[in-house]
Chains A and B, each alone.
Chain A
Amino acid sequence: MSHRRISSGNKNRGSSRSNSKVRRRQPGAGTALAEPASQAAEEPSEAAGKRAGAAGRGVEEIESAVVRFAGDSGDGMQVAGSQFTTTTALLGNDLATLPDFPAEIRAPAGTLAGVSGFQIHFSSLDIRTPGDTVQALVAMNPAALRVNQADLEPGGILITNRDAFNDQNLQKAGYEANPLEDGSLKAFRVVDVPLTSLTLKAVEETGLSRKLSERCKNFYALGLLFWLYDRPPNHTLEWIRNKFAARPEVVEANTRALQAGLHYAETIELFSVHYRVRPAKLSPGLYRQITGNEATALGFIAASKLAQRPLFYGSYPITPASDILQEIAKYRQFGAKTFQAEDEIAAIGAAIGAAYGGALGLCGTSGPGLDLKSEALGLAVMAELPLVIADVQRVGPSTGMPTKTEQGDLLEALFGRHGECPVAVVAPRSPSDCFNMAIEAFRIAIRYMTPVIFLSDGYLANGAEPWCIPKVEDLPKFDEVSIPDAVNYQPYARNPSTLARPWVTPGSFGYEHRIGGLEKEDITGNVSYDPINHEKMTHLRAEKVARIAENVPELEVDGDGPLLVLGWGSTYGAIFSAIERVRRSGGRVARAHLRYLNPFPRNIDDVLSRFKQVLIPELNMGQLALLLSSRTHTEVISLSKVQGKPFQVSEIEQRIEELLGSAG
């Protein structure tokens, strides 16, 4: 149950992969990353076997693994997880991550509320999700064990920090007896290590205080995991050197802790074997790992380059969108201006002002902020200015669960404003797809002179995956903004094909005009209270957004059968994997994924009508299902999950099997 295995000599699955040569590069450094602890990626496994043999234990080749680091929110689990991820990416594995942390920066130590986790699924195959169950769990204290134990597979490896399993911590986690001693963990391969004392011993000569020394234990744990999965420590060692450059004693201590962890795992017979996961067979190209928020920021910078207009990003810090502001603030050399506003309303107001001035006006937020931006968004609809609002959805309503993911803002994005107030809505389907859809959002906003909402979520924002870096020349082209003659210029005269009004900015001589939130007279843009004019303008604004469908790709359907599984946004990976599993076991099922939510792709009704049933898995109470059931005779079935967590593949797979079973 623990790991899927293929023998090291097996060329069947590995053969095509063995053609994939992996070369690593680091920015600014000419040197390649050192090879894994026991092997070079494309090296025959013999040499690795020899080295491992020297330590008396074998290397077992596996296709993929799911590892979770869990500890107190101050234990450095996110750092350990992301370091494991970077090294894994550089080894050429496909991967997906799921950081999961509390909203409190430091919840009371040792409590269930304070547990922070980082999960990574890595593989020699193409994977799409961070994995349903875990094969190796690091539990830094009893609370971490209690919160995460249920996800560990029977037979899975459980690494615990013996030092943290004292009476006080056990009590805080609600244990009456020590689970390490009462036999309750016998389903697992428990590797109980005094992590704290070993770390203290490893770093004692650095002269660091006890408190700081103890904080190195995440690197000790990382060292154990590096050995267990045969990953080299070099990249992390270099990261430590750069990160703590100003404090040599901290560099020394963390370095020692990491190496001590590796050596401990290698010399003491902690694990009977260790594992190797070969590089994945990915399409040729240059890769990096990227999170959704990073990809979002890069996408917006790219849009600015493609539109040849400076980016203006107004935002008020909010979880889980703050990274986007922090990222874009680094890119002043691209002419990007960031504005940390006094509140959510000022953030969108400033973005509207910048758009009015001819810049790419952008604001980013999460649900509570989208609520506050509603009125200003209506102004942008009335003024018909290009504007992008990035909403990184989180659990609601109200403050909800700020660090947890949900797709609950879809209907708000479409309809959450007073009056008839249509805006375009797009949604990326994976962390790296945030890059593409960020560009799309601005391409549409400018072409149609409309606000566009970009719906990401907490899972995409913080999750990472490998990304084949696109070539700049392959990125979409932006339309040239055409400006009519100043003579008889009319601010609301429209492009006959897109219905967009001209984007004439202040400063243009001879074009002086006034716009605003009051209803506009058709063509002239003057204030008008004429009832017939209002009806006409309402229809024009709706028609303009509807016409976007002519300019975006049709919905692609993969496969056929009576059942279509249709998703949107971040559920893509789980749906994709579920469908693959169903098909492997002989099921006939089709899938499609929406990245354009308003308007829908122009063939949506055709697609729906081809199926008897459509299953819509969503991390909400069935919002897309509600939208679609009003426009199709096909039976719409909602699969809803609102636990602040992404779908597990098995949850979707099971529902599909049920539906296929009952249909068959």
Chain B
Amino acid sequence: MSKAGERLVIQEPRPLTRMDFASDQTVRWCPGCGDYSILAQVQRTFAELGLRRANQVFISGIGCQSRFPYYMNAFGFHTIHGRALPIATGLKAARPDLDVWVVTGDGDSLSIGGNHLLHCLRRNLHINVILINNRIYGLTKGQYSPTSEFGKRTKTSPDGTIENPINALCVAIAAEATFIARSVDTWSDHLQAMLRRAYEHQGTSFLEIYQNCNIFNDQTFAPFAARDVRDDRMLLLEHGKPMIFGKDRNRGIRLRGVSPETVDLGNGIREEDLLVHDERADSATLAYLLTRMNYPELPVPVGVFRAVVRPTYERLLQDQVDTAIAEKGEGNLEDLLKSADTWEVT
């Protein structure tokens, strides 16, 4: 291990650029896929953060997005459907020194791997989970996903789906996630900011990215996320700031009873009447209200919904190891084997 240990301390010899994080493999997503933008923003953010390539590990499951590791010049493990999170969990628990990134999708983590998402979030390992949600199964060529809208017609729902969609961020709140955020594939600067926040969070960061599948589910988010309408139809969350949106910054979110509503500023409605975003609130109630906001009734929020601090799983586990060693001394095998009633035959 000594040789490996030496390699761990070697630092990048020079500042890296976005291209330093690109692997030698040809990217093979469909032309026009939203994943290209996400890949580019990840590479840019890594360069800006000055990350060491050898320490970045990408774990993915199955789905178009799960090819992500192949395109990053870092360590990567393209695993099996739905199981990226357990594999990332074991890796991080064994190797707290690594930065672990999970790239997953709506089928991978909300359907086949749904159980793992719940448990990963509640355990709060310091890993970054990027859930790329395109509301469709792309790799298998166009079946509905657990986030597809009710009634959606797809190859496996020719008469429309009869399943209510799952809301990834609601699930994350119920699972006690400590960091919950949302962004959009083509909103480059916002996505970069969210990736940076996700990286800096001490605990599991859960970032949902609305991504356009231009082959099987084109324009699914466009009604509110297109560049020309998003200011009016999306709410940019900022910690400590009143919830104002609109091109002219003239609309806001107010609480009526226990439900949020859209109001126009003026005519007696002032900024003080609006909800103020608090991503650090102990209670997850506000964050939950925000995750339920949907277009066209309300603007769709993007940004950090919740960011609270709780000890990480791998730290607590390592603490138990350290405490046991401090109290009992480093394990001695000979003593262990004899740690029972013994008798000697001479």
A interface with B by C-beta (< 8 Å): 20-27, 33, 86, 89-90, 92, 235, 279, 282-290, 298, 301-302, 305, 308-310, 312, 314, 331-337, 339, 341-343, 345-359, 361, 375-376, 378-379, 383, 468-472, 481, 483, 486, 505-518, 526-527
Instruction: Tell me the bound Cα distance from A86 to B72 in angstroms.
Output: 58
- Which B residues from 126 to 176 make CB contacts under 8 A with A? none
Output the least CB separation between A632 and chain B (Å). Answer: 37
Q: Is B197 an interface residue (CB 8 A)?
A: no
The stretch of B94-102, B186-194, B216-224, B228-236 that contacts the partner chain: B94-102
Contact B345 A287 (CB under 8 A): yes
Contact B342 A337 (CB under 8 A): no
Contact B338 A288 (CB under 8 A): yes
Q: Which residues of A contact B69 (CB under 8 A)?
A: 514, 516
Contact B344 A286 (CB under 8 A): yes
6 A–B contacts from the bound complex (CB under 8 Å): A21-B345, A90-B341, A290-B340, A346-B115, A471-B334, A507-B7
Contact A509 B8 (CB under 8 A): yes
Contact B91 A506 (CB under 8 A): yes
Contact A514 B75 (CB under 8 A): yes
| Given contacts A287-B342, A290-B340, A312-B93, A342 and B116 within 8 Å (CB-CB) | yes
Instruction: Tell me the bound Cα distance from A341 to B125 in angstroms.
Output: 14
| Given contacts A312-B94, A339-B89, A346-B86, A285 and B70 within 8 Å (CB-CB) | no
Instruction: Tell me the bound Cα distance from A508 to B322 in angstroms.
Output: 25
Contact A350 B333 (CB under 8 A): no
| Given contacts A486-B7, A516-B69, A332 and B324 within 8 Å (CB-CB) | yes
Contact B70 A527 (CB under 8 A): yes
| Given contacts A285-B344, A354-B91, A507 and B1 within 8 Å (CB-CB) | no
Contact B341 A376 (CB under 8 A): no
Q: Is B54 an interface residue (CB 8 A)?
A: yes
Contact B346 A284 (CB under 8 A): yes
**Which of A86, A290, A334 has most B Cβ within 10 Å?**
A334
Q: Is B78 an interface residue (CB 8 A)?
A: yes
Instruction: Tell me the bound Cα distance from A514 to B91 in angstroms.
Output: 15
Contact A506 B57 (CB under 8 A): yes
Instruction: Tell me the bound Cα distance from A379 to B77 in angstroms.
Output: 10
Known: A90-B343, A350-B89, A512-B75. 4 other contacts (CB 8 A): A335-B325, A346-B83, A352-B79, A358-B95
| Given contacts A27-B342, A287-B343, A351-B90, A514 and B333 within 8 Å (CB-CB) | no
Contact B118 A511 (CB under 8 A): no
Instruction: Tell me the bound Cα distance from A284 to B25 in angstroms.
Output: 63
Contact with A along B36-72 (1 / 0, CB 8 A): 0000000000000000111101110000000001101
Contact B341 A26 (CB under 8 A): yes
Partner of B86, one of A25, A350, A514: A350
Chain A residue nearest in CB terms to B70: A514
Q: Which residues of A contact B338 (CB under 8 A)?
A: 27, 286, 288, 469
Contact A506 B95 (CB under 8 A): yes
Q: Which residues of A contact B25 (CB under 8 A)?
A: 514, 526-527
Instruction: Tell me the bound Cα distance from A89 to B336 in angstroms.
Output: 19
| Given contacts A20-B345, A358-B95, A527-B70, A512 and B53 within 8 Å (CB-CB) | yes
How big is chain B's contact interface, by range?
A: 35 or more
Contact B78 A27 (CB under 8 A): no
Q: Which residues of A contact B334 (CB under 8 A)?
A: 471-472
Contact A472 B333 (CB under 8 A): yes
Chain B residue nearest in CB terms to A297: B336
Contact A342 B115 (CB under 8 A): yes
Partner of B341, one of A235, A512, A515: A235
Output the least CB separation between A28 and chain B (Å). Answer: 9
Q: Which residues of B contact A289 (CB under 8 A)?
A: 340-341
Instruction: Tell me the bound Cα distance from A548 to B106 in angstroms.
Output: 42
Contact B89 A337 (CB under 8 A): no
Instruction: Tell me the bound Cα distance from A379 to B340 in angstroms.
Output: 39
| Given contacts A375-B80, A469-B338, A516-B69, A357 and B1 within 8 Å (CB-CB) | no
Partner of A517, one of B54, B80, B92, B333: B80
Partner of A515, one of B1, B73, B78, B337: B78
Q: Is B268 an interface residue (CB 8 A)?
A: no
Contact A331 B331 (CB under 8 A): yes
Q: Which residues of B contact A302 (CB under 8 A)?
A: 333, 337
**Which of B55, B78, B87 has most A Cβ within 10 Å?**
B87
Contact A353 B336 (CB under 8 A): no
Output the least CB separation between A325 and chain B (Å). Answer: 14
Closest 9 CB pairs of A and B: A353-B90, A349-B86, A516-B78, A350-B90, A334-B331, A332-B324, A353-B91, A514-B76, A346-B86
B interface with A by C-beta (< 8 Å): 1, 3-4, 7-8, 10-11, 23, 25, 52-55, 57-59, 69-70, 72-80, 83, 85-95, 97-98, 115-116, 118-119, 317, 320-321, 323-325, 327-331, 333-334, 336-346
Q: Which residues of A contact B98 (CB under 8 A)?
A: 357, 506-507
Q: Which residues of B contact A471 (CB under 8 A)?
A: 334
Instruction: Tell me the bound Cα distance from A375 to B91 in angstroms.
Output: 19
Q: Which residues of A contact B343 (CB under 8 A)?
A: 22-25, 89-90, 92, 286-288
Contact A22 B344 (CB under 8 A): yes
Instruction: Tell me the bound Cα distance from A541 to B73 in angstroms.
Output: 27
| Given contacts A352-B87, A514-B69, A346 and B119 within 8 Å (CB-CB) | yes
Q: Which residues of A contact B83 (CB under 8 A)?
A: 345-346, 349, 376, 379
Contact B55 A506 (CB under 8 A): yes
| Given contacts A25-B343, A290-B340, A376-B80, A349 and B89 within 8 Å (CB-CB) | yes
Contact A339 B90 (CB under 8 A): yes
Contact A353 B86 (CB under 8 A): yes
Contact A511 B321 (CB under 8 A): no
| Given contacts A469-B338, A472-B334, A483-B4, A356 and B54 within 8 Å (CB-CB) | no
Contact A469 B337 (CB under 8 A): yes
Contact A510 B7 (CB under 8 A): yes
| Given contacts A337-B321, A339-B90, A506-B95, A514 and B23 within 8 Å (CB-CB) | yes
Q: Which residues of B contact A378 (CB under 8 A)?
A: 80
Instruction: Tell me the bound Cα distance from A472 to B55 in angstroms.
Output: 36
Instruction: Tell me the bound Cα distance from A224 to B117 in angstroms.
Output: 55
Q: Which residues of A contact B85 (CB under 8 A)?
A: 346, 349
Partner of B346, one of A21, A472, A509: A21
Contact A515 B55 (CB under 8 A): no
Contact A518 B3 (CB under 8 A): no
Contact A470 B77 (CB under 8 A): no
Q: Which residues of B contact A509 (CB under 8 A)?
A: 7-8, 10-11, 52, 54
Instruction: Tell me the bound Cα distance from A164 to B77 in angstroms.
Output: 62
| Given contacts A22-B345, A90-B343, A506-B95, A353 and B87 within 8 Å (CB-CB) | yes
Q: Which residues of A contact B7 (CB under 8 A)?
A: 486, 507-511
Q: Which residues of B contact A361 (CB under 8 A)?
A: 90, 94
Contact A507 B339 (CB under 8 A): no
Contact A354 B94 (CB under 8 A): yes
Q: Which residues of B contact A375 (CB under 8 A)?
A: 80
Q: Which residues of B contact A23 (CB under 8 A)?
A: 343-344, 346
Partner of B345, one of A282, A290, A305: A282
Q: Which residues of A contact B336 (CB under 8 A)?
A: 298, 301, 331, 334
Contact B341 A24 (CB under 8 A): yes
Instruction: Tell me the bound Cα distance from A569 to B288 in angstroms.
Output: 55
Instruction: Tell me the bound Cα distance from A509 to B70 in angstroms.
Output: 18
Chain B residue nearest in CB terms to A41: B343
Instruction: Tell me the bound Cα distance from A353 to B83 in angstroms.
Output: 10
Instruction: Tell me the bound Cα distance from A314 to B92 in angstroms.
Output: 13
Q: Which residues of B contact A347 (CB under 8 A)?
A: 86
Partner of B90, one of A92, A333, A334, A357: A357
